[in-house]
Structures are given as structure tokens and as C-alpha cells.
Structure 1
Amino acid sequence: MVLGADKGRATVVMDKTEYQQKMSTLLSDSKTYEKLDRDPTPKHKRELVSILQRLEKEEKIKKADKQFLYPTSENVPRIYGSPKIHKTIARRFSPIVDFTGSIGYNVAKSLMDILSPIVGQSEHHVLNSKSLAEDLKDVTLEDDEILNSHDVVALFTSTPIDLTLHILKEGLNEDKDLKNRTLLTTDDIIELTKFCLATVAYFSYSGQIYRQCFGMAMGSPSTPLLAISSWSGLSRKLSLQPRKLSPRLWKRYVDDVLEIIRKGQVDNLTDHLNTIDPTGSVKFTYEQEHNGSIPFLDTLITRKPDGSVKLSIYRKKTHTDQYLQFSSHHPSIKN
């Protein structure tokens, strides 16, 4: 089998039998997945049709919107494994659910336009490497401080849905611009979000339909936004921690965090971070600076003798140096 790697745009060639064995092992985790006796698609389709009819009747969506969101097919999402070559060559998989063409795909796409503005509003949010460089240009490290990074273990599959919906609802209620983007109420948006999470939580593999029992499946257009929103809400609790643990710098990109913290406090901070999720599902790992340097995003941050930092380009070992040809027929990205 020829597969795309989890990261780095690399290509992995794997024996089909080995792939099937690894997928079977992945899906045999009864804490995460369960087999279904029947296809839930017809049930979800009726549910979506009912929601859309009500929203149109209440004049919260137009007829054209209803037609765009209306489920015209009953395709069951399918799961596949993407090898994590940056861990151990082709020995671990990222489970990806192909949501394209399923009954909730267009709903998930539409939710992105509504939810995107409420994500990344924190002063700690990093937009990209350019904004990171701007944030670090005046930073000076003290002798008793180190550069450190934390990240969430398996962000999508460990994110609790109930907590995510609670945090999302808080963000929508605080969004003063929401009425300018949509006629939907907060409760309407939460209802549609629940629907999307339910329809991406089941999938087929080798003729069998499964349901993901916990967390969110990777593959839906709205899943990254929801996971980031949940993690953003959890990270607000950082301000409630003991003052001695508070990093002087806390910059977050998705589930990766760059910090400047006192030496000897990393383990204590990690222990504290592992308590901010009341469900106990979200856990953190960390990486400290090595020889005065630490990678973050696609930069290598290095402390200089005077305590200031410099940024240089960083490429992981799995980076393939493949880039989109400039003259290709592809929409330009404006930032």
C-alpha cells in the first residue's frame, strides 16, 4: 500500500497485511471504539432535515442555505490510518475519518465561518512564525530561566466533547459580533455542532461500522476549530495557578505552547496543567531547550549570550522539501 505520512508530505510504502493488522489493533481498543449493529446514517439524516426545516420556518436560514446544507447522499464516513513516521517508522497511525460527501460535511464547513472569529482571540495566541518573531524580538532571558514547550497528547481524540461544547457556548455568548455573521442563536449553533460531532464519530472499515466513544475524530472541517476552542478555554485556567509556576512567556499555536519559565519548575507546571481538564483526559508532554535552543513551529529559537533570542528556519527530519509550484493553478493565500 502507498500511503501519505502523518507529517512532512512524505510517502510510505507498507505491506497491506501489516496495514490491516495495525488498523485492526487500533480499532480493537474498546475504550475508544465500539462496533455498531446498524448504519446510523438514515437516523442522522432525518435529524438534520428536521433541524433545517425548523431553522427555515423560523427564518434563521434562507432557502438557498437549506438547499446547501440538505443531505443529498447517505455516504458513510470511512477511516484510514496515516503512518506517523516522525515517531517510529510506520509503526503508529493517526486515525483519519474521511468525512467528505457525508451528510454533515456541508454543515461542518458552514460552521467554520461562524466559529472561526471566536478562536485565537487570546493575547497568548500565535498566528504564525512571523507573529512569533515579532513577539520575541524584545524578549530577554534571565540566567535562572529556560525555554520550554508543552503540547497536548493526542489533542483530537482526547478532547472531551461536553467540555468543548460548554467552552464553545461561553465563547459564542461573549461574541458581540455573532449577530452580524448569522441569524442563528447560540443554541442553534450548539445543536448543529452536536450533530456534526455525532456524524463524524462513526465510520466504516472493512465492511464494519464503528463509533468513536470518546473525543473527536480527525477529518471533519470543524474538528480542528472545536479542539482548539476547547484547549483555549482550558488554557485560561493557567492564570489561576500558583504565581510561582506562572511562565513569564506563554505563546500558544493550536496545542503547542512556548514558555519562558524558571529553572526547576517545569515538572511542577506540567503536573498543574494535567489537572486543568476536569475529565482527566487532556494530558501534556514537554520539551526543554537543548544547548540553548528549542524548535517551535518552523523556527529554531536560540538564546544569545546577552539573553536575547534569535530565530532561524527549522526543518524536522521528516521534512521532504516539497513545495507547491508557484505557477500551479492554486488560489493564493493572503495574510
Structure 2
Amino acid sequence: MDSPVSPIAANIFMEALEQQPPFLDTLIVKKEDGTVKLLVYRKPTHKDQYLNYQSHHPLHQKLGVIRTLYNRKDTVVTEEEDKVEEEKKVQEALRTCGYPDWTFKKVKDQIQSVKPKKVSKKTDDKTRSKGMVVLPYVKGVTERVSRVMKNYNISTAMKPHNTLRKQLVHPKDKRDPNNTTDAVYKIPCMNCELSYIGETGRKFGTRLEEHKSEAEKVSKTVTTRAGRKESLTTTHKSAITDHVVDKNHVI
């Protein structure tokens, strides 16, 4: 059994209806007969700025803008006359963004011609997808490459390879690795496959210079047999220096 609604909650709900409350993209409107209808809600700051038709994007993405707005109109708006008005608003806004009239007709035809997909139990090698590749979009070229790949059951996705954000926005300066602190680092040997793994809480560049100076200092003293024999009995600061002495390798 449904729990009764309190009078206070009912009054709040009715007052909200009188004020036409918005919810996400939906505007709830109370009619004179007491029933409600739904419209598409736009914020007062909405400027009808969509993807410009002259922008360097594939055609299906531009048609997708129209399809998205049409689908919102069909799923949100409840009355037919309001759907007609919403469609006029959409077309007027997109014409401002450079969309020609044939694009609206094309999307309408696509929506009306959509048929429910048949569920196939088996897929043979000719229809089975062989994967997807992402192609940088170059007008007139990427479309042709996509059609060729479609013949081999390879799906494609397109993305712009050169954007204003990529050219102008650099939120962070590149950090010098030598200034990194609390780092785990790896130093390879030039003469064998061994590597030294170290950890430092100081700047990596400071610790690296210590490794270099000690290895160079020891290398100069082991040029003779006596110097090497003496160095083998000396305790060094790191395994890098031990490797230089023991193997006579270059780090």
C-alpha cells in the first residue's frame, strides 16, 4: 500500500509546478486543465553555440549534433505542436552555426529509416569485426581510408590531430628529471645487461652526480694491477662503484 503524501509535501509540489521547475534538460509546465507537459529546458545563459559546420571534423560528427538534438526533442517533449516548435528552434540555432538545410533532411531520413537489428546467433568470418583503429582526421583522406577498412571488417574512429588546445594550451611546464625528489631510478651499464636500481629522497640530479664523481674517481685509480687489487678491498659507497672496479665496465 502506498504511503500517503503529507499536505506540506503536496503544497511544495504544487508551488513548484506553478513555477515551471526545470529538471536537467526538461521543463515541467502545468496546463490550465491541471495536467502537465514537458518541454526542453535551456538555461538563461544558453547561447546556442554548437559545433560549427565549417570546423575540421568528419561529416558524421556534425550530423550527430543534429541527431542528438532531434532525439532530445522526441524523447523529452510530450506534445506534437511543441515538438514542431522545438525542431524550428534547433534548425534556427544550427543554421547560425553554418548547417545547410540538406543536413536536417538527411538526419530525418536516417532516423525514420532505422530498423530494429536482428539478433544473429552465428557470425561468420565475413561479418565478424577484426578490431578498431583510430585515425587522425584529414578531410577527404580519412573518409576514403575508412571505407577501405570497412571492406575488411575493420571499424574506424576519427579524431582531430591538430587542435587549438594542443597548440595553445600548455598548463604545466616540463619538469626537469634532475629536480625530482623522492625518486626511484635506474642506471644501466654500457658493457653488460646489468642495471643499478636506487632510491633517493634528495634531488635525483644531486645523487646522480655523486655516482658519477665516485665512479670516475675510482676508475682513475684502478689503471694498474696494484691499484685494482687495493680498490677491491675498499668499501665503496654504492654497488655502481663496486661494479666498475670488479668488471672494469663503464656506467
TM range, smaller chain: under 0.3
Higher relative contact order (CA 8 A, sep 6+): 1
Name the structure with the higher strand share. 1
TM-score in terms of structure 1 length? 0.18
TM-score in terms of structure 2 length? 0.22
